[in-house]
Structure 1
Amino acid sequence: MGFTPVPIRRKRHVRDHHPNATLAGTDPNLDELRHAGLLPGATPRQFTSALIHPLTPRGIRGTAVGIAANLSVSGRWHRLAAITAVLAAAYLVGNWPAVVCGVLIPRLLLYPQLAWMSLVVEHTWFDPDTRTGNPAWVEAGRCLRLYPHNKALAVLASATWLPYGDLHHYAHSAHPSLRWNYLPALERHLGLPHFAPDALAIGPNSVLERHRQALHAAASPAELSRT
């Protein structure tokens, strides 16, 4: 379906992101957030737009360009064949409505937005607690754990807009080679990182409010005068 080939994904995630998480200029994930508009001095409108970046015209164009780039790498005929088969099956099952609502909208809009929200809640991107020491201690300073005290919301998040491993991103970051299904047990052993909010968007201790305040604090006086 035009996703990033595994070798490219492995390099980007394991080699580029993990050792450099939250470091501007070296972490590709942080660069992606900044490219979407999560920058010091962002206005409320810019901040809100960045949170739904995959649903904006620029974000949709980026998704389409990314799919095209992923299909151009070696072995692309396998990926083209898979996409053709899925589109054909959808058409046979439900004609064009099935193609549009069952394949195109989920692939171009829904999945990118869910993956984007997953990215937003992986780290305290803009105000990490810089530490040295063992991996668990270092990662505890720059990771967060959403819904640590609400099992219902945690289950809902893991089953819908959060890929399973990203709900336990602290455990994954501390021990990135561990299998995904062992992460909850590891998390119970490690405890929680330094930021464990019970809310995504509402309240002074929510993830989005922390990001907003961190960007506001990082802005220069000139940037603040424009917000």
Structure 2
Amino acid sequence: MVTYLGIIAAGIAVRQTDRWWYSPGRGRGRRRLATLRDVRTLQRERANNITPVLLLVGHWLEWAGWCLVAAHGGPIGWIAAAVAGAIKMRHLQEVSHFAVHGVLTRTGRTSTVLAEAGVHIPLGFVPVPVRRQRHVREHHPNATIAGADPNLQELHDAGLRTGITRVRFALALVFPLTPTGAAMTVRGIAGNLRTSNTRWWRLAVLITLPAAVTLLLGWQAALFAFVLPRLLLYPQLSWMSLLVEHRWWDAEPVSGPPAVVEAARCLRLYPHNPVLALLARGTWLPYGDLYHYVHSAHPAVRWNYLPALERGIVGTPAYTPSGVLLGAGAVARRHLRALASPTTPQADPLTQETDLITAGPRHRETAHQ
């Protein structure tokens, strides 16, 4: 077991290279982030095509260590590998999210190639250009707008609609874990493959990965480190992140600079609880997802610089909940109140057919991240 944990530690250490290289506190960076221009200048100076490769290699090396834990750790190892595997997939999703925005590497083409090879193909996501269309061009400018935002359509498809009952709302919070949600995940993966002209070899790679793990380490490793996380646990983590990105049903339509527009429809979770914020950043809200408001206002900024932007330049939106489920201002409670309100701004135009609905199958994580 020490050897397996050593492989996991090695993977963590390898991916720290990218974190160190882009760190705003390294070298001259600490005193250069007084303005947005300073942030962008520093990001351009640090941009490279090597440390992002090490970042992805580190994640997959760590995942390989968890495969070994699942293969030899018994029931406790199975549970640990399943949870860790889901977190790894969530991290990989967010890394590729910044590749979709073109800021993972020095060049956009390299970002696309790395995202495809290191995330999208092995995990059965849509091709990067398709995800870029859905996320950058459809979601970002239209966040929370009924009939235009594909993410809002996903929430609607899961049953989050005006007039929802408390029971149905509770089930919607864990939608990927329900039989309907799990079936949708499987259909979503199939739909992802159909969006590519190279669908057969993408399918071959998707199948080969767990098959190879089974041959080398046994079915336990493949089941608990890959299949179970990919089909159930990772989709739930991704779903949770989607729920806490925006004030989906009570956003205030405003005009003005990006920071003003996004402040009216975004939220910032755990602003005064560093322990929960750190836990979220390490598990289900990694690589800048906790700073979704800042990212929405400045989507071309790499995750390394979002905390600095929030602290010194952009600030936080008005809605800064301290919890997801518990507390008077918790995210889930606010969503439920908004859906139960007869004056909800987003009341039911999503029931109409739109281009988003007829555009073909879409998988949750490929649309919102």
Structure 2 length-normalised TM: 0.57
Aligned to 2:234: 111
Shift of 1:151: 1.3
1:113-144 alpha-carbon deviations (Å, 9 max, x no partner) = 00000000000000012211111011001000
Shift of 1:4: 2.1
1:183-212 alpha-carbon deviations (Å, 9 max, x no partner) = 111111211111001111101111111111
Superposed, 1:89-100 pairs within 5 Å as 89-100=212-223
Question: Are the equivalent residues in 2 in contact too, given 1:41–1:219 (CA < 8 A)?
Answer: no
Superposed, 1:210-221 pairs within 5 Å as 210-218=334-342
Question: Are the equivalent residues in 2 in contact too, given 1:198–1:206 (CA < 8 A)?
Answer: yes
Aligned length: 220
- 1:134 has 2:287 as partner: no
Q: Distance in 2 between matches of 1:3 and 1:172?
A: 22
In structure 2, do the counterparts of structure 1 residues 4 and 163 end up closer, same or farther at CA, with 3 Å as the change threshold?
A: farther
Question: Are the equivalent residues in 2 in contact too, given 1:40–1:219 (CA < 8 A)?
Answer: no
1:68-110 alpha-carbon deviations (Å, 9 max, x no partner) = 1222312234423432332133213431122211111000001
Q: Distance in 2 between matches of 1:33 and 1:136?
A: 24
Q: Distance in 2 between matches of 1:202 and 1:117?
A: 15
Aligned to 2:165: 43
Instruction: Tell me the percent identity.
Output: 57
In structure 2, do the counterparts of structure 1 residues 90 and 218 end up closer, same or farther at CA, with 3 Å as the change threshold?
A: farther
Q: Distance in 1 between matches of 2:126 and 2:306?
A: 24
- 1:150 has 2:270 as partner: no
Shift of 1:218: 3.2
Aligned to 2:209: 86
- 1:23 has 2:145 as partner: yes
Question: Are the equivalent residues in 2 in contact too, given 1:2–1:67 (CA < 8 A)?
Answer: yes
- Give the number of the structure whose alpha-carbon radius of gyration is greater: 2
Aligned to 1:2: 124
Q: Distance in 1 between matches of 2:179 and 2:342?
A: 28
Aligned to 1:224: none
Question: Are the equivalent residues in 2 in contact too, given 1:143–1:170 (CA < 8 A)?
Answer: yes
Q: Relative to structure 2, which stretch is displaced further, 87-96 or 4-13?
A: 87-96
Q: Distance in 1 between matches of 2:221 and 2:146?
A: 42
Aligned to 2:197: 74
CA RMSD in angstroms, aligned pairs only: 1.5
Question: Are the equivalent residues in 2 in contact too, given 1:118–1:163 (CA < 8 A)?
Answer: no
Q: Which has the higher helix share?
A: 2
Shift of 1:219: 6.8
Q: Which amino acid is the alignment partner of residue 288 of structure 2?
A: G
In structure 2, do the counterparts of structure 1 residues 219 and 95 end up closer, same or farther at CA, with 3 Å as the change threshold?
A: farther
SS at match of 1:18: helix
Q: Distance in 2 between matches of 1:212 and 1:88?
A: 42
Q: Which amino acid is the alignment partner of residue 116 of structure 1?
A: W
Q: Distance in 2 between matches of 1:108 and 1:29?
A: 19
Identify the match of residue 321 of structure 2 among 167, 190, 197.
197
Identify the match of residue 120 of structure 1 among 236, 243, 262.
243
Q: Distance in 1 between matches of 2:204 and 2:291?
A: 34
Q: Distance in 2 between matches of 1:196 and 1:151?
A: 13
Q: Distance in 2 between matches of 1:180 and 1:51?
A: 27
Aligned to 1:225: none
Q: Distance in 1 between matches of 2:294 and 2:241?
A: 15
Aligned to 2:331: 207
* Unmatched 5+ stretches in structure 1: 221-227
* Unmatched 5+ stretches in structure 2: 1-122, 345-369
SS at match of 2:218: helix
SS at match of 1:168: helix
